[in-house]
Chains A and B, each alone.
Chain A
Amino acid sequence: MIQLAWLIPLLPLIGFLIIGFGGKKLSKNLVGLVGCGSVLAAFAISLGIFFQLHGTSQVVRLTDWINTGKLQVDFSFTIDPLSVLFMLIITGIGFLIHVYSTGYMHEDEKYDRFFAYLNLFVFFMLLLVMGSNYIVMFVGWEGVGLCSYLLIGFWFKNTEYNNAAKKAFIVNRIGDLGFLLGMILIYTTCHSLSFDKVFSHVHSKAGDLGVLNLIGILLFIGACGKSAQIPLYTWLPDAMAGPTPVSALIHAATMVTAGVYMIARSSVIFVNAPAASELVAVIGLLTLLFAATIGLFQNDIKKVLAYSTVSQLGYMFLGLGVGAFTGGVFHVMTHAFFKACLFLCAGSVIHAMSGEQDIRRMGGLKKYLPITHLTFLIATLAISGIPPFAGFFSKDEILAHVYEHNKIYWLLGVVGSMLTAFYMFRLYFLTFHGKFRGTHEQQHHLHESPKSMTIPLVVLAVLSVVGGLVGIPNGNYHLLHAFLRPSFSVAELAANWNDDATSFGSEEARLMIIAVLAACAAIYFAYMLYRKNNVLPTENEKDMSKYQRVVYHKYYVDEIYNAIIRKPLDWISGMLYKFFELRVVDGFVNGIGSAVKWTGGVIRYAQSGNIGFYMFAMTIAIIIMLLVKLF
């Protein structure tokens, strides 16, 4: 079965080719069938591999790829617990979202193209997590960026959506440069790019801190771009311009966790690079607080979820930074469940509301959308960290490690989790409770979504409930930890961890209770504010307090970037155009032209038409050449 691993990315690629080239000639049913079927088949194979893996780590080598001198890059796949876990998440959740899309996108005229892009995305994402060296990973990394761009700008007739797509692409490019530089630095220090060789090299020569820290920081810059961390997070909220299934699949469950995967994969490097790890933790912490506060006052249902995604990604990086690799990956998994569920619920709500996304015009949807309401509530409880839902276990594991590392980080993390609980329940109450605030027409149209949309919701909700049980914080029952151990064994060895993180002590129980109580308090607060007192976010900016206004405008980060990066760049390029381009470059080019013209004008008189003179000149020239040759 493991030897069939190459089929996993190939199937979505074939799906993409069939749908992409078949285009409008295929019926919608066939497109849906191919799109979902290819991903389901990939999921089935991944599942087969999962059961046959038995904690081993294997490399499936397909072919030579780059083979020049010292640089040897194979096109090969790593099949180990870490990559298999991601493969399961990608194909499993990918399949559910494909199914959901058959309902959600049914009326769209570019139905076939949507599925082609989605399949292409799944292909690249699988390439990213399966590659056994940084180059294959990078190809997948760029590929998912491309698909993200294509899908954010899917409704390309809207200029704003196009701008969002471009923004995502360009901001990602900045991160990619960091990744690329990191790769080059890895190659110059380790003389290889395949994971096995790099990690054994790093492990055996752990000591050159400067270079390893630099590599770590460069890789983390790449992760910042893809996984929307400060300072490169601004693209993700705008990326919500894409269709909602895309937000769920790419901008919540899978692609944005690529950075987490990359750092988890490079765990050996980060364990040996304390400064880089500290940076990862600090940036993660800042991002999680920063995004959570922005989420407090957003009124677009998808924007709130987007900021919550940024914030949850911050948690993952905080975990990775303090060395809780299992915790970070665990949170990727649970987050994929509940955030995909939340986004799909939001899609269902938007579907029912005929395209309305502003939560101020919703309310009271509970009775119209019972299934959506229930699944949304479950996912909200999961993200808020209420036991026994999935988010509780993963968040708790990260926070436990953070507490060991630095108590202040832990405190801030708990504050972040309070904020999360608050804004998620604000969203929940404003959307599903109270009176309906939309137009009559919208109210008339309200309806529960078709089965193809609700079934994925239910499956994801169930996963959000039980998904955390693989990581019960007790050494013997922490299945995920045991499963992932082979992937992190070298890092664990290097970090010299004692295993007390997985043994459940009274200290951890206390922390857990504090975190849960904090979340409950936040939920109660949200309940009092938005359910009991029916406070409605104001539509008028003048009614806002100063702080609220700043947050409502997302701390003006976009404007600041505009002012300190775009404006100066515009100014510099304007100046360069005026002075350098027009004067120097054009002057140089035109100068060559006129110089040639002038010399030609002067020396053309040498062409006198007198053949005797020509011959004389020729003879003299030959004689001179001979003399030069002789002496």
Chain B
Amino acid sequence: MSAIQIIPLNWYVTLSAILFGMGVLGVLFRRNAIIILMCIELMLNAVNLLLVAFSAQHSDPNAQVFVFFIMAVAAAEVAVGLAILMMIYRNSKTTDIDFLNRLKW
């Protein structure tokens, strides 16, 4: 029985929930676009953790395949997101989303 299986499942669930909640709150309340991006990553990783934990608990490797997919997609998403943020910063010298409100009606 590996170490990961010794820890009860509840703990993983709780930890994931906390991480996910932090991510949501960060996305909702922080104003720096980079931090928002990081919070999104946090949410994704909370889900990853949950998937891996259940996978280990049930000895079912399927969930790990999902995790790899999520990581790959997240990497791509971050690459694009950061590139966009770079361009925004170069043009407007800010990453504060409250100032980036010109794209409207």
Contact = CB atoms under 8 A, between A and B. Distances in A.
Interface in B1-56: 24, 27-28, 31, 33, 36
A607 B27 contact: no
* Chain B binding surface, main DSSP class: loop
A593 interface: no
13 contacts: A605-B105, A607-B105, A608-B101, A609-B100, A609-B101, A610-B98, A610-B101, A610-B104, A611-B33, A612-B28, A612-B98, A615-B28, A619-B27
A370 B19 CA distance: 114
Contacts of B97: 610-612
Interface in A601-621: 604-605, 607-612, 615-616, 619
Interface string B70-105: 000000000000000000000000000110111111
Contacts of A611: 33, 97, 100-101
Interface residues on B, range: 10 to 19
Contacts of B36: 615
Contacts of B103: 609
A85 B97 CA distance: 92
Contacts of B100: 609, 611
Nearest to A606: B105
Contacts of B27: 615, 619
A608 B102 CA distance: 9
A611 B84 CA distance: 15
Nearest to B24: A619
Given A612-B31, A616-B28, 10 more contacts: A609-B102, A610-B98, A610-B101, A610-B104, A611-B97, A611-B101, A612-B28, A612-B97, A615-B28, A619-B27
A620 to B, nearest CB: 10
A153 B101 CA distance: 70
Contacts of A609: 100-105
A612 B36 CA distance: 10
Q: Which of A604, A608, A615 has the most CB of B within 10 A?
A: A615
A615 B98 CA distance: 12
A627 to B, nearest CB: 15
A610 B28 CA distance: 12
Contacts of A610: 97-98, 101, 104
8 tightest A-B CB contacts, nearest first: A609-B104, A609-B101, A611-B97, A604-B105, A610-B101, A607-B104, A609-B103, A615-B27
A76 B27 CA distance: 75
Contacts of B98: 610, 612
A508 B36 CA distance: 110
Nearest to A623: B24
A603 to B, nearest CB: 10
A609 B103 CA distance: 5
A604 B105 CA distance: 6
Given A611-B97, A612-B97, A619 B28 contact: yes
Nearest to A611: B97
A610 B36 CA distance: 14
Contacts of B104: 607-610
Contacts of A608: 101, 104-105
A609 B105 CA distance: 8
A164 to B, nearest CB: 64
Nearest to B105: A604
Nearest to A618: B27
Contacts of B101: 608-611
Q: Which of A610, A611, A619 has the most CB of B within 10 A?
A: A611
A109 to B, nearest CB: 68
Contacts of B105: 604-605, 607-609
B69 to A, nearest CB: 20
Contacts of A615: 27-28, 36
A451 B24 CA distance: 102
A509 B19 CA distance: 115
B51 to A, nearest CB: 18
A615 B24 CA distance: 9
Nearest to B31: A612
A616 B26 CA distance: 11
Contacts of A619: 24, 27-28
Contacts of B33: 611
A604 B104 CA distance: 8
Nearest to A614: B97
